[in-house]
Amino acid sequence: MIDLNERYAEKKSFFNRLVVVYVFFGFVFSFFLYQTYSLQVSEYKDYETAAIANKTKEVLVQPVRGIIYDRSGKIIVNNVPTYDLIVKASLIKSIDAFLSDLS
């Protein structure tokens, strides 16, 4: 049978380990809380300007394609430029005037 001193020492040892674990997780939680505050409140201006500069930019790259010939020198595929017209209907005031300007 375990005497009372050993049982008390075992409980004290368990309690000490539990306190160490609680203190460790308290520091980790405090660190994450500080980092969150720092990112969202203290340094938001730096990250805001970086986010604005990081917006997607559209760069149009025209594909370079050659003319394809068959073995006798006849053109099989030729380059024909094509254009797309995209119109927002909400920006057109008069459809008839727009179509006459377009043609």
The tens digit of pLDDT for each residue in 7-45 reads 888 888 999 999 999 999 999 999 999 999 988 888 888
CB 47 within 8 A of CB 39: yes
Of all residues in the chain, the percent with pLDDT exceeding 70 is 98
77 Cβ neighbours under 8 A, 6+ residues apart = 67, 68
Distance CA 50, CA 43 (A): 11
Domains of the chain by residue range: 4-53, 68-102
The tens digit of pLDDT for each residue in 1-17 reads 567 778 888 888 999 99
pTM above 0.85, yes or no: no
